Amino acid sequence: MASQGLLKDLIGGLLILREDQFAAGDVIIVGNHAGLVEKVSLRVTKLRSLDGELITIPNGSIDVVRNLSSNWSQVNYVIDLSYGVDVNLVLAIMDAVTQDMHKDP
């Protein structure tokens, strides 16, 4: 029984690596677990959650993976403004900041 689980994990890991589903450095969601992929091996995937927890997931138990950073990413910010603010000035500042961030390697 244990060897069946190990074989399932190894095949799952092989498929993850071969199909390039995710790699170290990607941010993924697997089931109820989300985090930065620290390591992918043939048997397990290790995620670091936002709380700093190290989550080890057997590759054979991974059904659906949501990759949030593969070749693309997005950040959503909510910026609260008071009623008297010059909206055009705020937009100009936001544009300047995003251009600086885009140029920064």
pLDDT tens-digit series, residues 79-96? 899 999 999 999 999 999
pLDDT above 80 (res 72): no
Residue tagged 């890991």 (tokens): 13
Q: What is the pLDDT of residue 73?
A: 72
Q: What is the pLDDT of residue 1?
A: 64
Top-confidence residue, 59 or 2: 59
Q: What is the pLDDT of residues 3-62, one digit of tens each?
A: 888 898 899 999 998 998 999 999 999 999 999 999 999 999 999 999 999 999 999 999
State how far the alpha carbon of 6 is from the alpha carbons of 10, 39, 44, 54, in Å.
6, 18, 10, 21
Q: What is the pLDDT of residue 5?
A: 86
Question: Rounded to whole angstroms, how far apart are CA atoms 103 and 6?
Answer: 46
| Helix ranges restricted to H, the chain | 2-18, 87-103
